[in-house]
Amino acid sequence: MQFLAGWFAHPIFKNGDYHEVMKTRIRERSLAQGLTKSRLPEFTESEKQRIKGTYDFFGLNHYTTVLVYNLNYPAAVASYDSDRGVASVTDRSWLGSGSFWLNVTPFGFRKLLKWITDEYNGPPIYVTENGISERGAVNFNDTWRIHYLKSYINEALKASLIDDVDLRGYAAWTLMDNFEWAVGFAEKFGFYYVNRTDPSLPRLPKASARFYAQLISCNGFPDPANGPHPCLEPEPEAPVTPPGTTPGLADSVRFLGLDLTSQSAEIALYVLFALSGIGALGLVLFSYKYGKRFKRAQSHIKLSKM
């Protein structure tokens, strides 16, 4: 854990420096490889003081858990895995996903939240990403995503209510299918499917979108023992506008001080526009006629003077 979460968290939440286990292992392997000093950069005392305690909360992205075991790599191998001296495996009984690295392991989520709390003296924690992917043709009945969210959020609740974890917030990944780094659009994490064959890119909700909206509306999981909860009732449908009517228009409107029906006011408005247009055209014709007469008068005056 010190080579993963601790790599970044230990300097900030503890003493401004990397954990001793990280410094010791990398220094020993660096010297064994013929180097004169550790490959891990060292902080100055001034930098340690600047880094230590510079946090407002612990932001956690979490998706899955793995099993690890000790593995002694040859001394000549210089890599992240060889420095930490472990390898990872997964249990074949764990449910998979659209990503080769992501298995459904909610028990690990609670353990990690508890570890962060114990290791860093109970900082406020915000889960900034948590979700599951899919591949292939879209399936709007994404029950596996609902199962994942139920399982992981329940473990987060246990961490908060039983383990005294200061969990302040949770954000699922993600609202809609998007570009997922090196795999592009092949792996989809969204509550909404984005039809990229349509130029307008319509967003279409999956079953998980309704589940998550209901979860937020209920602010958790209502206890079935208490009977039906109001938050589980379907939302009332929007009123249907009768054919031939325009939403939002009143039966009567005030137009130039008169009470008119919507239709009459519309006709009056068109008539007003027409009259305005005729007036403008008349003004142009008048100006044109007046201009010609003025030029003729000017010419007559000049001829008279000659």
pLDDT at residue number 248: 46
In the chain, the DSSP E strands lie at 58-61, 67-70, 86-89, 125-129, 167-170, 192-194, 203-205, 252-255, 258-261
Q: For residue 43, what are the CA distances in angstroms to 6, 31, 48, 155, 276? A: 15, 19, 6, 37, 79
- 238 burial class (0-12, 13-18, 19+ CB within 10 angstroms)? exposed
Mean pLDDT score, 145-150: 98
Strand 167-170, strand 67-70: pairing:
unpaired
pLDDT at residue number 285: 72
pLDDT digits (tens, 9 = 90+) for 265-294: 667 666 676 777 777 777 767 777 766 676
Tokens at 301, concatenated: 């005056």
> Catalytic: which of 129, 155, 187, 233?
129
Asked if pLDDT for residue 45 goes beyond 80, the answer is yes
Share of the chain above pLDDT 70, in %: 81
pLDDT at residue number 279: 72
pLDDT at residue number 301: 54
More confidently predicted of 196 and 287: 196
pLDDT at residue number 209: 97
Question: Residue type at 45?
Answer: E
pLDDT digits (tens, 9 = 90+) for 243-270: 554 444 445 656 566 665 766 766 766 6
Tokens at 158, concatenated: 């246990």
The whole-angstrom separation of Cα 9 and Cα 120 is 8
Asked if pLDDT for residue 3 goes beyond 60, the answer is yes
Tokens at 305, concatenated: 């003077």
pLDDT at residue number 2: 97
pLDDT at residue number 122: 98
pLDDT at residue number 10: 98
Q: For residue 115, what are the CA distances in angstroms to 31, 39, 150, 224? A: 32, 28, 22, 32
Q: Report whether 106 contacts 151 (CB < 8 A).
A: yes
129 is catalytic: yes
Within 10 Å of residue 41's Cβ, how many Cβ atoms? 8
Least confident of 68-77, 104-113, 155-164, 244-253: 244-253
